[in-house]
Structure 1
Amino acid sequence: MSAKPSTLTERRKAATQLDIARAAARLFTEHGAEGTTAEAIATAAGVAPRTFYRYFRTKEDAVAPLLVVGAASWREHLAATEEGTPLLRAVEDAIRKTISAADEAPEFTWTRGLLRAAVAEDSALAAVWHRVNGASEIRLRPVLARLAPQADELTVQLVAAAATAAIRISLERWAGTDEKAAPAELAVRCFRGLSGGLEV
């Protein structure tokens, strides 16, 4: 699990970054990648352009904090698993809980817009999405290792890769549809397909 900001200054910085990320996600959703500028994001977030560039190099980078929050939430659900739960079942349960809970958040609607923009328009936005997924996979490994201390390192890496890919694929497929409900069961199905050969 990623460390949470500990000082007041760090918390304020994190809050500002998240406000900018929400504004960026909304504008990407409403106007697409080409129709969104860093200056427009700064205005929507209520900050000066220089503040925007203090935190982010590009307009695409600005969405990362919002995506990171979702990834952290998923690891927290998994870390809260009852002791003794088989690892693959624990991962399935955490995937289902996380995506089902996200369905109620306005940010989740923006995720669809972001992914549509990333897939259809903007390779830089797609790169941010893949970078966040890669970082999430690495941070997931110690959580899985604590839940299954009997599992070897390779198995832990494979489960982390399967879980991360399952969530990513399900969200990308969902983003290309008009389905309103979050793809919790699709994500579980993807995970079962990707982890079918694993024994934990």
Structure 2
Amino acid sequence: MSTRPPSSLTERRKAATQLEIAHAAAELFAAQGPHATTAEDIARHAGVALRTFYRYFRSKQDAVSPLLADGADRWRALLETAEPGAELSRTLETAVEQSLAAPDEAAARALLRTRGLLRAAADDPALRAVWYRVNQESEERLVPVIARLADERPDALRVRLIAAAATDAIRIALETWAATEAGVTGEGSPVALATRCLRRLVGGDLLSGS
């Protein structure tokens, strides 16, 4: 689900309904686990008809995809507003720092919800597949953004490698954090781990264009 504001009232209503269903699914997964949760449970908890649920999502696991994609959407939106010509590594890091920060209670809750979903995915192949799909889609959407930031005539292979490495850096950081009891800020937090991964995976010759 994109972070850009929907352009019409119908699209805004659709996005709001998807988000309500996603929150309902995440709450039930946290309370009783994906295995004990049905699509009917999620629809009932969200206050929508089952047919409405299946209009937007293919499965109960797919219902949380808007929440799993939220961080990547915010990160990409920040990169879309960045100016070309700046040092790419610093631009990527700055966007990561802002998108994974937890400056308030709402941001902290969102990160903790992601932790719960990633922990649930460890025992649920279908939920894990949704997480991998979300990351693949994020990588594909990141390619034109990186191309714009890289230079006037970027090398297509280099751009794809940067997009893939940057996406994996954040994915690995979040998965690593989810397996610990580290907080949402400070050492071991998502932003600390993501910055560390980003520097290791998206560094050296790749960002210098060599």
With the length of structure 1 as denominator, give the TM-score of the two structures: 0.92
CA displacement at 1:122 relative to structure 2: 0.6
Q: What whole-Å deviation, never above 9, does each CA across 1:51-100 have from its counterpart, x for those lacking one?
A: 11222121001011222332211101112224432111111111111111
Q: Is 1:189 the counterpart of 2:175 in the alignment? A: no
Greater RCO structure (CA 8 Å; 6+ sep): 1
CA displacement at 1:102 relative to structure 2: 7.8
1:49 match: 50
Q: Please, which runs of 5 or more residues in structure 1 have no aligned partner? A: none
2:148 aligned counterpart, secondary structure = helix
Query: How many pairs are equivalent?
Result: 199
1:84 aligned counterpart, secondary structure = coil
2:11 match: 10
Q: Is 1:176 the counterpart of 2:156 in the alignment? A: no
Question: Aligned residues: percent identity?
Answer: 59
Worse-matched range after superposition: 50-59 or 166-175 = 50-59
2:112 match: 109
1:100 aligned counterpart, secondary structure = coil
Q: Distance in 1 between matches of 2:41 and 2:94?
A: 39
For residue 172 of structure 1, what is the amino acid of its counterpart? Answer: E
Q: What whole-Å deviation, never above 9, does each CA across 1:140-190 have from its counterpart, x for those lacking one?
A: 011111112243111111111111001100100111111122410110111
Contact kept in structure 2, 1:102 and 1:108, CA below 8 Å: no
Contact kept in structure 2, 1:162 and 1:195, CA below 8 Å: yes
Q: Please, which runs of 5 or more residues in structure 2 have no aligned partner? A: none
1:90 aligned counterpart, secondary structure = helix
Q: Distance in 2 between matches of 1:157 and 1:58?
A: 30
2:60 aligned counterpart, secondary structure = coil
Structure 1 residues 130-169: aligned runs within 5 Å: 130-150=132-152, 151-169=154-172
With the length of structure 2 as denominator, give the TM-score of the two structures: 0.87
Contact kept in structure 2, 1:64 and 1:128, CA below 8 Å: yes
Q: Distance in 1 between matches of 2:27 and 2:141?
A: 27
For residue 132 of structure 1, what is the amino acid of its counterpart? Answer: V
CA displacement at 1:103 relative to structure 2: 7.1
Structure 1 residues 15-30: aligned runs within 5 Å: 15-30=16-31
